[in-house]
Structure 1
Amino acid sequence: MISRLMSGLLIVMALWNAPLFGQDKADYQTELEELNQLLEEYPALIPNVLSSVKEFFRQRNEHLALMQKHEGWLFNNDRTHPWYGAENGSLPVVVITDYDCPYCKRLEPHLQRLVAEFPQVKVINVMVPIRQQNVQGGRLNPANYALNVWQNQPNQFAEVHQLLYEQNGLHTAQSLEKIARQTGTRSQLTSARATASVIEQNHRVFNDFQLRGTPAIIMGPLVIPGYVDYDDLKAAVTNLLANQTP
């Protein structure tokens, strides 16, 4: 028979990933029983499976170390990172985002819907401008501008945030000027110096997690790279909330 240790490791792997796929523990237990039977019939597979399990735990430990390293910067930094939803929500959802990224633009309505549907969720926007460092004809990028607004005119941020995502294609100096005039935030277009260090640290986090693009979502034990449909996002949130300690 396959060892109890192997069975236990496989169960932990399954339950660790359960929130991402929206499966409950009973479903995984059934699948693991099937896997156990398969390995008993084909024991030659065990070394490869064990190697995969060890690699899983190596990656998991690296992930936990990164979460601990960056926890304060990502999750306890309301003055720096724009957020919306429940201020003291039990499930913070960090989104690594770029206002020039088309997939980030598509993801934003899902995040707004998530906050409306789950009062426990707090969405934290971590700006990582990849598409362009400075807009055409300007001295800063949309992330600099948005962070300036968040720090200096927070009451205008929600409107600015929405308008920045509504822009088709890359932003330009003209598109930022139009939004700034519409929202009364032209003074926040003057300099990127106040927010440059924030974006630099955001890039360090981005690189540490070995992300390759935007968007990306960090919540609970999960790091989800790329765009995700609302149904999958909702399933992950539902499972994470169900597994929270009361």
Structure 2
Amino acid sequence: MQRRTFLALLAGLPLAARANTSLADLQAEAARRTKVFQAQLTQLATSQPKHIYFNAADPVIGAPKAARSVLVFTDFNCPYCRKIDPILQQVAQDGSVRFVLKWQTMMADSSADAASFALKVWQAARPNYAQVHTALLQAPIPITPQAMRAIAQQTQTEHLLQLAEPPALASSVQLGQQLRIFATPSMLIGNRVMSGMTDEATLKKAIAEWRVS
């Protein structure tokens, strides 16, 4: 994490600045920015803005009134996102946590189309969402327009394919960029970003260690 932060800082500096800045100064600046970023995460986790944590346009796994809300940055074309989805479903069963899905568009050109379709189903045909969600995660990667049409036909949601892209998708992508989410799956658990594949026990432990104010 420290190395990635340092490299990101270095890449963002003009060549002249790099030439005139010592390694120690660069490391100090990286540490300063990391501290600021961590403070921003803490503020976000503490305040839990309604438009981010409780946006009705975002699909949710788990009880609507669970005590904890975890943001999940995920992509329908991401192999590890597909593997972690059943774990989220299992962890959410006890009713103590809800996973708010913030669909991303990193993995393939069709990621945006798949996420847009899923969000439209969530908003306009919610009883069909679980079936669409599962079918998209089980479709061959990368998801093709033909596969999406077949899923829409099977779930009686074909009429939603032609609707405009929901604003929630752009908002989720923008949030991912603001939080420096460079890979999926990633989760914001309290003020901690957990990236990559994990197992049920590790996820439960991370959630249990998060103190809810």
- The one of 114, 122, 133 equivalent to 1:150 is 122
Structure 2 equivalent of residue 24 of structure 1 = none
Measured after TM superposition, the shift of residue 223 of structure 1 is 1.4
Contact 2:45 2:190 in 1 (8 A): no
Alpha-carbon RMSD: 2.6
Query: Which structure's CA Rg is the greater one?
Result: 1
Structure 2 equivalent of residue 19 of structure 1 = none
- The one of 80, 86, 99 equivalent to 2:63 is 86
Q: Which amino acid aligns with 1:170?
A: P
- The one of 167, 172, 177 equivalent to 1:202 is 172
Q: Which amino acid aligns with 1:125?
A: L
Structure 2 equivalent of residue 13 of structure 1 = none
Measured after TM superposition, the shift of residue 150 of structure 1 is 0.6
Measured after TM superposition, the shift of residue 154 of structure 1 is 0.5
Q: Which amino acid aligns with 2:143?
A: H
Q: Which amino acid aligns with 1:96?
A: F
Measured after TM superposition, the shift of residue 56 of structure 1 is 6.2
Measured after TM superposition, the shift of residue 170 of structure 1 is 1.0
- The one of 225, 230, 233 equivalent to 2:195 is 225
In 1, distance between residues paired with 2:145 and 2:198?
30
- Superposition pairs of residues 92-107 of structure 1, within 5 angstroms: 92-107=69-84
Structure 2 equivalent of residue 21 of structure 1 = none
- The 1:244–1:62 alpha-carbon spacing in structure 2 relative to 1, beyond 3 Å, is closer
DSSP-derived class of the 1:141 partner: helix
The aligned length equals 186
Contact 1:115 1:121 in 2 (8 A): yes
Measured after TM superposition, the shift of residue 71 of structure 1 is 2.6
In structure 1, the gaps of 5 or more residues are 1-50
Give the % identical residues: 24
Q: Deviations 1:51-83 (Å, cap 9, x if unpaired)?
A: 999776434213234557873332121x21011
Measured after TM superposition, the shift of residue 239 of structure 1 is 2.4
Q: Deviations 1:13-45 (Å, cap 9, x if unpaired)?
A: xxxxxxxxxxxxxxxxxxxxxxxxxxxxxxxxx
In 2, distance between residues paired with 1:73 and 1:225?
23
Contact 1:218 1:224 in 2 (8 A): yes
Q: Deviations 1:190-224 (Å, cap 9, x if unpaired)?
A: 13x241x3222211111111111211111222211
Q: Which amino acid aligns with 1:122?
A: R
- Superposition pairs of residues 92-241 of structure 1, within 5 angstroms: 92-116=69-93, 118-134=94-110, 141-191=113-163, 193-195=164-166, 197-240=167-210
1:72 matched to 2:44? The reply is no
In 1, distance between residues paired with 2:147 and 2:153?
10
Q: Which amino acid aligns with 1:237?
A: I
In structure 2, the gaps of 5 or more residues are 1-28
Normalising by structure 2, report the TM-score: 0.77
Q: Which amino acid aligns with 2:150?
A: K
